[in-house]
Structure 1
Amino acid sequence: MPQNLTSQMLDAVRAADGRVMDRPAYHADAAALRADPDMVGDVWKLERSQVFYEEGDPAWQAFLANDWKRVLEIFESERPALHEGIATYTRQGLRLRRLRVVENPLTPYLRWEMQSHRVFVECGYEIGVLEAEAVRQHEHRSPLPELMVYGRRVIYHVRYDDRWAPAGAKRIDDPVLANWAADFVSGLYARSQPFLDFFHREVGTAAPASAGGD
């Protein structure tokens, strides 16, 4: 996608009218969208921020307590649910792909998150990693937005509070804009590297610095 069109698309996503939902409403709305038999095809997820605050997440609480062994145990325990999740996507005719943009050096948060992503990939999910230098040209005014794009029909512009704790999403029902966004994210994904290649080279399972050190 030409740079000028990309800038227009990103500005349009940020400015678009849409239904703003809190986190429970967003999750319920996305689940209903996935269950819609007319919603099939690709689902793209773009993750850009290097730090989130995962309030209430047991693995995050273990990380805050510097209990790395417990972090890994919790992520490992999620395998049955992850297998069921990927089977559900497949049954619904959807293919989820996630693009994780990373800065170097990796933040402690990212080193924590990538332990979860490793288990996701081992359970069948598709995740690509793209270094931030590859997206700088699109970030003259602000970082890339956090997005979910469903079937080239619906965009969720995911929202966070000042701590980067999840705060819901704005749903944008605009097929033209969703098509632009899907093309953009898929183009970045095509330039990414497989998650496990990046993980084994750059991350590993050793405990990172504490969460307070990022």
Structure 2
Amino acid sequence: MSSIPEFAELLADTGKSAVHLEMRDAYFSNPRFEAWQDGQRVDWDDCATWWRPYHQDIAEAVARGVTVRRARIVSEPVTDYIRWEHYQTRANVEAGEQVRWLPRRAAWDLLLPGTDLWVFDGRLMRVHHFSGDGEWISKELSDDPALVEQHAAAFEKVWERATPHDEYEVK
């Protein structure tokens, strides 16, 4: 595929499910993470301060019946970045995402993709490429049925083992 639509467009074209597999212990830094490191915390009562276009896209998809799930495979003890992700995941949950966490030691026997990805309706996959230090490099799109099916199956195996967000304690 020559042109890769933005996430919002892919999600808008999704009718049933969107799943996201994340496997890095750190991603590129951003101002919200840096503010958290400096001790700033989200005012969860003031939605306007933390609600982003991404959250709106998720909320709209969920409202029209799309199930959105995210599974994170993490090393323990977790990095500061993962500790921050766990903290701010409340925003994802408020938007309607279901989120689960799987310690890397509990995933050792699973055959996993080499990079993070989204699968939309089990028919289309967007793969994310990062540098070693977590900087965004590029994305790819695949609609190859066998490839998408393999990656969707890998996600399901992770999902089955993972702990729901509200039960997972960062260590």
Q: TM-score by structure 2 length?
A: 0.82
CA distance in 2, matches of 1:192, 1:50: 16
Distance across 2 between alignment mates of 1:35 and 1:117: 22
1:139-188 Cα deviation digits (max 9, x unpaired): 6xx97421111111111111112421122311112122212211220121
Hey, what does 2:100 align to over in structure 1?
128
Aligned to 1:208: none
- Greater helix fraction, Structure 1 or Structure 2: 1
Name 1:86's counterpart in structure 2.
58
Q: What is the aligned partner in structure 2 of residue 101 from structure 1?
A: 73
Matches of 1:162 and 1:194, distance apart in 2: 28
CA contact (8 A) 2:56 2:95 kept: no
For 1:13-32, what aligned pairs fall within 5 Å after superposition? 19=2, 28-32=5-9
2:12 counterpart letter in structure 1? A
Between the two proteins, what is the percent identity of the paired residues? 24
**Aligned with 2:72: secondary structure?**
strand
Partners of 1:44 and 1:97 within 8 A in 2 = yes
Aligned-partner SS, 1:196: helix
The one-letter amino acid of 1:53's match is F
Q: Give 1:46 shift.
A: 0.6
| Pick aligned residue for 1:194 from 143, 164, 168 | 164
Larger Rg: 1
The one-letter code of the counterpart of 1:175 is P
Listed as ranges, the gaps of 5+ residues in structure 2 are none
Change (3 A) 1:195 1:144: farther
Cα distance in 1 between the residues matched to 2:61 and 2:95: 13
CA contact (8 A) 1:138 1:144 kept: no
1:35 positional shift: 2.5
Matched, 1:67 2:38: yes
Cα distance in 2, alignment partners of residues 195 and 85 from structure 1: 20
Aligned-partner Cα distance in 2 for 1:30–1:49: 19
Structure 2 CA distance for aligned equivalents of residues 45 and 191 of structure 1? 15
Pair 188,143 (structure 1): closer, same or farther in 2 beyond 3 Å:
closer
SS in 2 for 1:179: helix
Shift of 1:82: 6.4
CA displacement at 1:108 relative to structure 2: 0.9
The CA distance in 1 between the partners of 2:38 and 2:143, in whole Å, is 42
